[in-house]
Homo-oligomer: A and B are copies of this chain.
C-alpha cells in the first residue's frame, strides 16, 4: 500500500464549469496504482468541485442559471463586497457545492458512472488560476 500526491493547476476562463476528468485520469494512470481511493481538494473558497453530467452542455448552462437566480450577484443582503458584486455570491455557491470529492479506483479505473465528469466550478465572474490537490492511496 502506498500514496501519491499531485497539484493540478487549472486556469478557469470565466465563471462556469471546467472539466478536469482527463488530466485527473492521466495523473492517476501515471502513479501506477490500480486499486485505491482518489481524493480531490480545491484550495479556494470562491471555486468548488462538482460531479455532473458530461453529455449535454445545456446541463451546465442550466446549472449556472439556477445558481445565478439563487445567489444573485450584487444582492443587497451581502455586506462582504470587497472584491465586487460576485465576491460573496462566490463564497455562498462554494458552500452549497463541494470543496472535496473522493472517488474509488478499481483495476486501474476511477469508478465514475457513464455520464459523470469531474468539474472545477469557477464562481467568480473573471477566470482565475486555481489549484486542486490530488491524493491517491492504494496499491
Q: Does the CB pair A62–B78 fall under 8 Å?
A: yes
Copies in the complex: 3
- Measured between beta carbons, the chain B residues less than 8 angstroms from A95 are 50, 52, 63, 97
Q: Does the CB pair A45–B56 fall under 8 Å?
A: no
Interface size class of A (residues with CB under 8 A): 35 or more
What is the interface of chain A, defined by CB distance below 8 A to chain B? 1-3, 5, 35-37, 39, 41-45, 50-53, 56, 58-59, 61-63, 65-66, 69-71, 77-80, 82, 88, 91-92, 94-104, 106, 111-116, 131, 133-135, 137-139
A-B contact pairs, 8 of them (CB 8 A): A3-B37, A37-B37, A43-B116, A45-B51, A51-B99, A59-B80, A137-B137, A137-B138
